[in-house]
Amino acid sequence: MTPCSADGGKMRLDYSSHNSTASRSSSLADSRIHGRRSRKELPVVCQLPFEPAQCRILSPKKFYTSFLTAYLRGAHLWLFLSHRRHLLLLKVGPIDPPLRLPMACPRGLSRRALPCLLQVGRLFRGEPREAAASSCRRRTHSSSSPQKQLETKSETVHQKQICQIVLDHFEKQYSKELGEAWNSVRKVLTAPQCWQYGVLLNKFSFSSKVENDLRLKGYHLLFPETSSCFHQSFKCYISSTPGRFPAQRHRAGKLKEYYLLNVASLLAVLALEIKNGEKVLDLCAAPGGKSIATLHCAWPGLLHSNEYDHLRAQWLRETLESFIPESLMHIVTLSQLDGREMGDLKPETFDKVLVDAPCSNDRSWLFSSDIQQATLQLAQRKALSAVQLQLLRSAIKALRPGGSLVYSTCTLSKGENSDVITEILNSCSDVLPGDMGALANVASQEFVLASGVQQHELLVLPEKGRAWGPMYISKLKKI
């Protein structure tokens, strides 16, 4: 089948051999493109780097929706140009999750949309997501100063639209689970302009200039260097004011000097209390921030970073290659295994295990642009706890007796947090709750911690001026 062909500078789509689902979609596409709204086809405006297909954009003069069909690796992909001011890649093949991209104007592709479309092409050719994204940024902001890039990034964040269905769901659930604390948390989660980002310095490559720049901009160390609870090689700078330090582009053969992150995620790594020479498993490792932090806390004998999802695994690989020198890569093992099977494949192998489990990411879900997808996610939310339990049981099998396990999520949901841990403690006779009292005492200097949690738990609540989290962390020990 030839998915599309050009004739006289115009495009013709062939839907003759699509499957039933694709056929229904193609009929809709055909009616929208060739129907009453616009029968006229303009010249081709862009060719995407998909192979083996020759894929082109069809751009009617007036439209609500235009469609791009690509035939790639046996999958049919649809790209919607939406009047809601963004492009949405909808999965009709093995692509997950959908990618939201900037809008394309009715007269053709906007200057911002074109590099993002090329980014999609790079992803499907197998290039890591971060490389594709950095290339997109180079095309979009190549002539901009770091300050201008930061302003553009902030402007994009501020333009996010809250998904009312998700907010209503959260309102109903979290007002019961958190009580009055939900009011202040809600204000931060629904206001991206309040969000803050920490800067984790790469001890393998950062320069004093970066550290000086951070101090001049009002950043300070996350924890005092005198804290006995933390390793001195761990340097993370934070600011009390909202904003984001300019990100660094990926440069082949050159390490990045810092990593931007929500610093609440570092507490999960610190809770492990990693010692030199220990074998550490990061079970759900992408995008790689916690694996990087692990190597900054100690010199493990082995760091096994695992990510099951194919695209996220590529992202993880590039992240580690961007921050870890070649001379240290021999202690790092990358794998793409189903985390639920790790315990059977590597029984009693690791001294420390981190399970940063897939969860209903509250920050992300609140700004879902696809209402249907958001509704489906909420309906399937309860099923997440079953996956989390499977991952935890597998991690416990992979943990040696006497070892420690840390479980973390970035949601406030009790059903994905303390309820999961309670089920594990009740059903696993070889597991005991750990003690995070010392970490909680030090963390309370910079984070807002929920009250009423158990000694083996921390729940970080975002608050204006300290907009870190949400992040749930629990520590277990195997006997």
Q: With contact defined as beta carbons under 8 Å apart, do 390 and 461 qualify?
A: no
Domains and CATH numbers, the chain: 4-125 (no CATH), 193-478 (3.40.50.150)
SS3 at position 402 = strand
Whose tokens are 């689970």? That residue is 177
Q: Identify the CA nearest to 435 among candidates 453, 455, 416, 417.
A: 455
pLDDT at 67: 35
pLDDT at 13: 28
pLDDT at 301: 97
pLDDT at 233: 67
Instruction: Kindly state the helix (H) or strand (E) to which residue 234 belongs, with its residue range.
Output: none
pLDDT at 120: 52
Question: What's 193's DSSP letter?
Answer: G
pLDDT at 94: 41
Question: What's 310's DSSP letter?
Answer: H
Entry pTM: 0.70
Q: Identify the CA nearest to 393 among candidates 333, 339, 474.
A: 339
- Could you give phi then psi for residue 13, rounded to 5 degrees? -100, 140
pLDDT at 469: 96
Question: What's 309's DSSP letter?
Answer: S
Residues 6+ away with beta carbon under 8 Å from 123: 99, 129, 132, 311
Residues 6+ away with beta carbon under 8 Å from 129: 123, 311, 312, 314, 315
Instruction: Kindly state the helix (H) or strand (E) to which residue 112 belongs, with its residue range.
Output: none
pLDDT at 40: 35
Whose tokens are 């629990």? That residue is 474
pLDDT at 23: 38
What is the distance between the alpha carbons of residues 355 and 114, in angstroms, rounded to a whole number? 38
Tokens for 38, please give them: 């616009």
Q: Is the peptide bond before 97 cis (omega within 30 degrees of 0)?
A: yes
The question of whether 410 is a catalytic residue gets the answer: yes
Q: Which residues in the chain come in under a pLDDT of 70? A: 1-159, 224-233
Question: pLDDT tens, 119-139?
Answer: 555 554 444 444 444 444 443
Question: pLDDT tens, 40-56?
Answer: 332 333 333 333 233 33
Which residue among 4, 284, 297, 410 is the active-site one? 410
Q: Identify the CA nearest to 469 among candidates 185, 179, 222.
A: 185
CA dihedral 259, 196, 414, 177 (to 10 degrees): 170
